[in-house]
Chain A
Amino acid sequence: MEIAQENKVLQFVENLSVGSDLPTYRAMAKDALAGMDFPTTRVEDWKYTRVTRITKQNYKSVEATADASAYRIPALNANVMVFVNGFYDAAQSSIEAQEGVTISAVADMDLEDYLDKLDSIDENVFSLINKAYYTGGAFVRVEKKVVAAKPLHIIHITTGEGVIANTRHFIDVDQSAEMEVVCTHHSVNAAESFSNVVLEGSVGVNAGLKVHKLQLEELDMFHISTENFIQEKDARFDINTITLGGLLVRNGLNILVDGENCDTMLNGVYLTKEKQLVDNHTFVDHLQAHCVSDEMYKGVVDDKSKAVFNGKVIVREDSQKIEAFQANGNVLLSRDAEVNAKPELEIYADDVKCSHGCTIGQLDEDGIFYLRARGLGKKSAEQLMTQAFIGEVIERVKNETVQDYIYTQFEERFGWVR
């Protein structure tokens, strides 16, 4: 009898195709897949997130059309790029030219020039699959001292069953330049589909970048995203991750703070229900001194859903005078809901200020009774308290239009009234 040792990753990508004349970085990624396996729950980093549900199927990569007009945010007054199933939809996109700002569909040559900036960030199997097989993405470059006049709104739509969307974006913000990017993720009739996204970039010396990611897919598809960023000296980077949709979602943030006097802010909100699983893994690596990182993630977990939070911060040996703050708060709304939260601080410098706090609890019953005793129904009382709990994070999103949009989503999905 013949025993075939089959590689699951190669099986997984069997139906995906990519041109024959591959640039080196993609060929390397493709080759690397042959030696990889999908993580099991025995791997610490994936302990609470079983990816078999995603990886046991074969997906097809297909171009499709979907109307993006409903997903535009008019008040944002943004340049818009639309990706359907990972393919750029130029017809639905609108980009206003600005000197010193490049916004285009990504091309291999762009990435070849820039990817080595992120060499020191480890790839995982999903980001490698993406690297080998991505079908589209945005390439953004803001030149030295240029402030982008408009934010860029990247709309991702997945449509059709059993589809994989490999989208890969790269954002390069040069010295003293400023940029803001809003990524929204949506789906239409995309049961059992898989959105595998990578968003990467570099925030140059004294530059600023804000990223707002809103995951708004239906509750029947999978989503794994990898966000890899490097910050140089005096750079400011904000990344907000709001997760409301998806059946199984993993947000993996890796931020390499490789310069002094950087400011890094990470905010996250997850509201889960039914059988959702939302996993937020963040990693801030402080390589240099005099930096501040401030992280606040909050979640409300209902029904039989699960949430995972893992916040890792490393302060390297010579990174003195670091201030690294981390807070994670969770509210369980049902007996069957589950949260696994783990702060991970590794500190090798001796003159630092670091803190972390993690709470898991229920809504304050005394508070709910107080509100009910004033005539509020139980549901309204719980909603007000939940909103207040989450609101603390939303207030940290430094863009009022985005805040409004987030609240609108709460209203549509949960019936919350502002």
Chain B
Amino acid sequence: MLTIKNLHAKVEDKDILKGLNLEVKAGEVHAIMGPNGAGKSTLASVLAGKDGYEVTEGSVDFDGTDLLELETEDRAREGLFLAFQYPVEIPGVSNINFLRTSINEIREYKGEEPISAKDFMVRVKEKSALVQLDAKLASRSVNEGFSGGEKKRNEIFQMAMLEPKLAILDETDSGLDIDALRIVADGVNKLKNEGNAIVVITHYQRLLDYIVPDKVHVLADGQIIKTGPKELALELEDKGYDWLTEKA
């Protein structure tokens, strides 16, 4: 589903990604861990197509399309979803209104009819229940006045609404208490199926007790330096990253 080959990217003339390779297949959950400044969030931003991130080398194939050639919105329309590390507050834009526009623009891109008001509301009800997001929050301004946990739940709610092929969760667990973490993880697990894939970027092994990865990657200094089974995360939790980075 996602094949990243030798990806190099820089921000303001600083090389961050230095030849990153990653292969994610449908039905898989991958975890990317690594020390601060390794390039984890840069990878997420590059994949989503954020301005200011320049790809200097390499390729990203997303289900047969060259992802790097697409505008941000077209990446989303092709089925890529990024759960933001810091969800943006947008005063005055209601969650519900923007999601309806979003779903309809995605449908239009695929040559489908707009969603009916009724179907939309049914979906809102169902998906907001999935992450225990208060219906009132769902219709408020995007993330405005939301607590940290509510913002992250809102990200997963949006993911549920948009049903992406590939979701990248950028530190969705950071700052969550155990209850909020369980809710978010439950939501993600319910959305997981054979046809989609999830990449979890995290600092903390704890999340992986709830979202169990098929593979764990260590990202350090712009490259994946180690890949292993889910047990690798526990080892990292115990030993930190130094033993890997020194060896590398």
Contacts and interface: CB of A to CB of B under 8 A. Distances in A.
A366 B92 contact: no
A373 B92 contact: no
B75 to A, nearest CB: 8
Contact of A369 (B72, B81, B98, B106): B72
Contacts of A367: 88-90, 93
Given A373-B72, A375-B102, A364 B92 contact: no
Contacts of A375: 73, 76-77, 102-103, 105-106, 109, 162
B168 to A, nearest CB: 10
Contacts, number: 81
A391 B50 contact: no
A90 interface: no
Interface in A367-397: 367, 369-378, 380-381, 384-385, 387-389, 391-392
A377 B107 CA distance: 12
Contacts of A370: 84, 87-88, 90, 142
B91 A366 contact: no
A388 B94 CA distance: 9
B73 A364 contact: no
Contact of B105 (A364, A366, A377): A377
A116 interface: no
A122 interface: no
Interface residues of B, number: 33
The size bracket of the interface on A is 20 to 34
A245 to B, nearest CB: 24
Contacts of B106: 375
A365 interface: yes
A374 B71 contact: no
A385 B93 contact: yes
Given A376-B105, A391-B92, A371 B98 contact: yes
A378 B73 contact: yes
Contact of B162 (A364, A374, A377, A391): A374
Nearest to A390: B92
B226 to A, nearest CB: 29
A373 B99 CA distance: 12
A364 B102 contact: no
Given A369-B51, A371-B98, A380 B88 contact: no
Nearest to A384: B93
A299 to B, nearest CB: 15
B48 interface: yes
Given A369-B51, A388-B93, A376 B101 contact: yes
B82 interface: yes
A387 B101 CA distance: 14
Interface in B74-125: 75-77, 81-82, 84, 87-93, 97-99, 101-103, 105-106, 109
A366 B82 CA distance: 14
A197 B38 CA distance: 65
Sort A-B residue pairs by CB-CB distance and give the 9 closest, nearest first: A388-B92, A375-B76, A370-B88, A372-B72, A375-B106, A372-B73, A388-B93, A375-B102, A367-B90
6 contacts: A372-B73, A373-B81, A374-B99, A376-B73, A384-B97, A417-B101
Interface of A: 364-367, 369-378, 380-381, 384-385, 387-389, 391-392, 417
